[in-house]
Amino acid sequence: MIDLAVITIYTLALLVIFIYSLSQLHLLVNYLRATKTTDDSEKYDFSGEDELPPVTIQLPLYNEYYVVERLLKNIARINYPKDKLEIQVLDDSTDHSVEKTKVIVDELASKGFDIQHIRRKERTGFKAGALKEGLKIAKGEFIAVFDSDFMPGENWLFRTLPYFKNKKIGVVQTRWGHLNRDYSLLTRIQAFALDFHFILEQTGRNFGRNFINFNGTAGIWRKECILDAGNWSGDTLTEDLDLSYRAQMKKWEFKYLENVETPAELPVVISAARSQQFRWNKGAAENFRKNYGKLLQDPSVSLSTKFHGFFHLLNSSMFLIVLLLAIMSVPVLYIKTTNPDFSWYFNVLRAFAISTLIFFACYYVAYARIHGKGIRSFFKFIGMFLTFFSIAMGFSVHNSLAVLEGHFGKKSEFIRTPKFNINSLKDSWKGNRYLSKKISGNLIIEALLFLYFGFAIFSAFKLNEYGLLIFHLMLFSGFGFVVFKSLKPEV
């Protein structure tokens, strides 16, 4: 009975991952179709300044001492008439970065910029609360949002605003770039994952007329859309995803621009990456609880959108499924070698290997979009694919706990991701005052799983059964990486 229960759980996990892979395959098909079509959107011609609409740029800040100067000086370079551009510095900081920000704001104001340094007495609603507070007095018809580590190009507004000629468009979102992609293995795997989302997933969903999400930054909203959708809300950790779904359920359309890149900085320390991952994964689960029931019950929403919305909002929950599959795989190894009656069934389960092939194809298309399609690039991709999924599985405990908290409604504070102002290998993050000195409480579980999958590798040779050896090697190295980098982040 125990053997049967283990095999059943293992099979169900494989089945869920397979269905999820089919959703990704559909996005791949949509992406390839999108690359073969021309953009026939009606666009405003902003050749005359009298046609330009008033725009507000919102810059939410919280203790951003290292990057605030770079941010504000870059925003000041954006090409747009000063009399039609308002800049709101929404500063919830609680440290001495406030004084630094004020000096730069005053300097820009003296140069003729319409810029305000807005401070709140209480950080109610965190980032969502700050954006909502600024919106009350915003002069702009359109609201652009940039996090503190983003560096939009000079013509960013002229490349995004024209799409709002279509009165149904509520948001134009651009693709994230990476200022420090090659700083370390940690930044390279983050870039690998984000490129996949911003190239294949966002384009595929948008082309297929399914719901996409404003990514919290590097996008611009029609102010009317924000208000019509119910305004910003701080009741989830991903206020951007929440407002995106509420707006699209109000029949607003989103436009995604893959070809407009807005570069930003990736976390260079594993503790910072952990905090970011925790917020994103828990927030997605919270949004599933809050919004998917409404989406499912809406008769005007297509089955395709409901299908992709399900996996979009439950994307982070795949960590929980993968963790379950990984843990079950070790007893499965022993069941397979000690119960020959099950051999036929395990042969059937091999068919689920197609999921891996689907993921491989999907990630390669996104990777090739950035790095090219040559032979050398392909072999580099294979190494990156294996490395990424290994380390992603190493994060599965941390991310699964975040997902469970989101699904069960446990509330927690918005934990910011420390910024570093790092662009090259010469720049150092050591001494950053915002870094958490605490070691994650999950580290003991991760260390135990590191040993557990070491035992799985030993078992493969002991039992002379190598079908799961690569999988267990990936898990062993992934958990090893996470444990080692958590204990020795400077190495």
Per-residue pLDDT reduced to its tens digit, 78-133: 999 999 999 999 999 999 999 999 999 999 999 999 999 999 988 899 999 999 99
Q: What is the pLDDT of residue 412?
A: 83
For residue 438, is pLDDT > 80? no
Which band of pLDDT confidence, cut at 50, 70 and 90, is reported for residue 60?
Answer: very high
Neighbours of 409 (CB within 10 A): 10
DSSP sequence for 333-356: HHHHHH-GGGHHHHHHHGGGGHHH
Active site residue 40: no
Q: What is the pLDDT of residue 491?
A: 55
> Which residue among 92, 149, 195, 242 is the active-site one?
92
User: How many whole angstroms separate alpha carbon 377 and alpha carbon 363?
Assistant: 13
Which band of pLDDT confidence, cut at 50, 70 and 90, is reported for residue 489?
Answer: confident
The mean per-residue pLDDT over the stretch 406-412 comes to: 92
Active site residue 240: yes
For residue 224, is pLDDT > 90? yes
Which band of pLDDT confidence, cut at 50, 70 and 90, is reported for residue 387?
Answer: very high
For residue 427, is pLDDT > 60? no
For residue 70, is pLDDT > 70? yes
Cα-based torsion angle of the residue sequence 124, 232, 216, 308 in order, rounded to the nearest 10 degrees: 130
Predicted model pTM? 0.94
Two structure tokens written together for 10:
């293992």
Q: What is the pLDDT of residue 423?
A: 64
The larger pLDDT score, comparing residue 52 to residue 431, is at: 52
pLDDT tens per residue across span 125-142: 999 999 999 999 999 999
Q: What is the pLDDT of residue 433?
A: 64
Which sign, positive or negative, has the C-alpha torsion 194, 415, 271, 279?
A: negative
Residues 6 or more apart whose CB falls under 8 angstroms from that of 350 comprise: none
> Which residue among 91, 149, 195, 240 is the active-site one?
240
Residues 6 or more apart whose CB falls under 8 angstroms from that of 306 comprise: 295, 296
pLDDT tens per residue across span 170-185: 999 999 999 999 999 9
Q: Are strands 169-178 and 85-91 parallel, antiparallel or unpaired?
A: unpaired
Q: What is the pLDDT of residue 119?
A: 97
Q: Which of 320, 322, 324, 275 is nearest to 486 (CA)?
A: 275
| Secondary structure class of 181 (helix, strand, coil) | coil
